[in-house]
Structure 1
Amino acid sequence: MPKVDYALMYVTDDSIKDDNSFFHILEASLKGGATIIQLREKTCDTQTFYQRAVRCKEICEKYYVPLLINDRLDIALAIDADGVHIGQTDIPYAVARRLLGKSKIIGLSVSNKEQAEQPNAQAADYIGISPIFSTNTKTTDLAQPLGILGLKEIRQIYKKPIVCIGGIHKDNTQEIIANGADGIAVVSAISNAEDPEAATKELKEIVCKTGTN
């Protein structure tokens, strides 16, 4: 598998129903330096998800940036995405790996140290600590935020890349990277920004500067 840069993952905002706005923000994030994209659709029908995925792949390929599909292995297979991001209650990691093959990226959400110690997490290409801080982006049953202390505990027992998501913005990104995360995943910090490209660029610069210190 090629080396993946997990510095800045833009997770698409499924509250944006207008495709023009949706893809404008996606491309702005890529111009600003997003290193990986995760297409997340929780409410639309399968056909709409598929159509967005096809277009997302075309845009991501133009910028040579990997595209992951959230949860939906069928969509990932249908468009030959670069991988999937799955949660604790989604399709088991072993099944996803068998169907996707060894060359694809598989990330797994974890909400505590115990989940990070499990075989699924240890086998995944990266884990997403979710949530690191409180967030309003996801409205369904979220675990308690792990915070910096939780990140540091997981970093001690997890050797592969860690990406944090949840309540992340330019003012707390440095702290996250300084305490062991390899990257951040953001939704509203980009999608709700007045200038998504500039917001992405600013976040990327913080991640890269902190990561080299």
Structure 2
Amino acid sequence: MTKKEFDYSLYLVTGRDLLPPAKDYLESLEEALKGGVTLVQVREKTADTGEILDVARKTKELCDKYDVPVIIDDRIDIALAMGADGVHLGQTDMPVPIARALLPPDTVIGKTCNTPEHVRVAISEGADYVGVGPVRGTQTKKVKHPVVGPRGIGEMLQVLDGTDVKAVAIAGINSTNVLHCLWGSVSPTGHQLDGVAVVSDIMASQDPYASSKRLSDAIKAFYRSPLRTFSQGLSTAPYKVEGIKTAVGSILRSVKQFSPLVHQITNNVVTNQSANATLALGASPIMATAPEEMADLSKVTGALLVNFGTIQNLDGMLEAGRNTNINRKPIVFDPVGVGATAYRRESAQGLLSAWQATVLKGNAGELAAIANSSEVQAKGVDSLGQGFADPASFVRKLARQHRCIVVLTGVTDWVSDGHAVARLSNGHALLGEITGSGCMVGTAVATFCAGASTAAAAGRAADAEDDGMLVRGDMFVAAIGGVLAITIAAEIAAAREDVKGSGTFLPALIDELGKLTAEDLASRANIALV
């Protein structure tokens, strides 16, 4: 018998204990179904068998009206008694093969998985779908396994390559983070989620219809978009060098036209020169670190830069990133010196799990630490050795892993969105002789990202359909533009007669950033696509 085809996109897991006071379970469920729930799991952990059966039967009667399947958590006997469409089994529940033997052949069976090995076992046992997570911490159930975040979900999804087993993410998902979850939870091979499982954001809501609709609208918008990186339209419009040069100049004009606010939580050694570089390019800097400010700031900023060179205000970084994701603004993450200590590595992984970076920027030692690669070692903030043997492959792979633009800085700079790779060969040796030149590159990249995002928002019709993008604007080109702004301005500054060394170079560099034009970028940019 053919298995039922489920729409896993908005998978509601019930929890009657979460209902607001005076809110009826069936009333809440019907509102959620009207709002867009596509699949319902009845989860009852404390009620007796008779009560669970009654709730399950009434749930199925209501869901049948909306042609929405019902799955029973754990209880094979309940599923058999009320004719459920499927069952969901945990790691310590009945094995899938035994459940399969007891249930009708068309019953869909799901399995909770917390590691890639769990997924392999679920596939071998014949599960129809897996619930992968936990994506985040949750108050609805005791989480026995570490939070894996979207990137951990991506590792589990890769195990599903070549199978028809479906996957939904579970734990801590709500309307403010669902888009981040969907964007970030993609394997390096492009395998994406089939849906998300939600509990409290719907069950605890006073308005389950509105809560479900917010989730449903975001999920539908994501699936309407072709799976892609933060740059736009790669599959239909491959990049060309001259096109990139033109687009970079256009973004610089947008920065000067809109003067976007660029929020920077940055190394306190370079705060002043980063602010001056931002102003020189035509944008406005704000250096705020208090967590309490982040919800308001993220609504008015054009982009966020998180640079933890002095690794202070980690709570502020977490809140800034979360709120910037919610408002769909670009985030540039510069994990300065990340390979130096275990604390820095743990902090970087925590930030990358808490929010979705748009651009990940660093030198060879820093990005090697992020990638857990031993190919390049670091000493403090500096890289040791000759760098990567194949930097183009490295940045492409890391961009796919993290679902973001990757900028690898050095004598030669490399930028990738996971598909295209640009090699940038501008710059001057004096950049290596001043403090914080790499941090200034992060500032310029964030400024260009803000310009691209602000211009895209300004050109977007107010009533345009949501395109499901977490960030709008071409972030691949914006990242290239930020790197070129610093390296080309450095070339011009170093050639000035009044520049005698590093002491006179820095103010000259700021001067030349302020004078930089779109024409300068186009005529001097040394770009190759590899």
Shorter-chain TM range is over 0.9
Secondary structure (helix, strand or coil) at the match of 2:31 reads: helix
1:108-149 deviations in whole A, cap 9, x for unaligned? 00011110111556621110013111101103x521111111
Q: Give the distance between the partners of 2:43 and 2:22, measured in 1 at CA.
A: 14
Q: Which runs of 5+ in 2 are unaligned?
A: 187-191, 226-530
1:38-95 deviations in whole A, cap 9, x for unaligned? 0000011111101101101100111110000000000000001101000011111001
Q: Which runs of 5+ in 1 are unaligned?
A: none
Q: Give the distance between the partners of 1:193 and 1:121, measured in 2 at CA.
A: 38
| 1:177 aligned residue | 182
Q: Check conservation: 2:97, 2:125, Cα contact below 8 A.
A: no
Q: How many residues align?
A: 212
| 1:84 aligned residue | 87
| 1:189 aligned residue | 201
1:161-195 deviations in whole A, cap 9, x for unaligned? 11011110112111222232110111101011231
Q: Give the distance between the partners of 1:43 and 1:19, measured in 2 at CA.
A: 20
Q: Is 1:137 paired with 2:149? A: no
| 2:12 aligned residue | 10
| 1:73 aligned residue | 76
Q: Check conservation: 1:132, 1:148, Cα contact below 8 A.
A: yes
Instruction: Assess, with a 3 A threshold, how the Cα gap between structure 1 residues 79 and 126 changes in structure 2: closer, same or farther.
Output: same
Query: Residue type of the partner of 2:154?
Result: K
> Which consecutive segments of 4 or more residues in structure 1 shift more than 3 A?
16-20, 119-122
| 1:98 aligned residue | 101
Q: Give the distance between the partners of 1:124 and 1:29, measured in 2 at CA.
A: 27
Q: Give the distance between the partners of 2:23 and 2:177, measured in 1 at CA.
A: 30
Larger RCO (CA within 8 A; separation ≥ 6) = 1
Q: Check conservation: 2:88, 2:111, Cα contact below 8 A.
A: yes
Alpha-carbon RMSD across the aligned residues, in angstroms, is: 1.7
Q: Give the distance between the partners of 1:210 and 1:166, measured in 2 at CA.
A: 19
Secondary structure (helix, strand or coil) at the match of 1:185 reads: strand
Structure number with larger C-alpha Rg: 2
Q: Equivalent pairs: percent with the same residue?
A: 38
Q: Give the distance between the partners of 2:136 and 2:204, measured in 1 at CA.
A: 18
Q: Give the distance between the partners of 2:82 and 2:46, measured in 1 at CA.
A: 19
Aligned counterpart for 1:199 among listed residues 201, 211, 222:
211
| 1:32 aligned residue | 35
| 2:149 aligned residue | 147
| 1:51 aligned residue | 54
Q: Check conservation: 2:133, 2:149, Cα contact below 8 A.
A: no
Q: Give the distance between the partners of 2:46 and 2:196, measured in 1 at CA.
A: 24
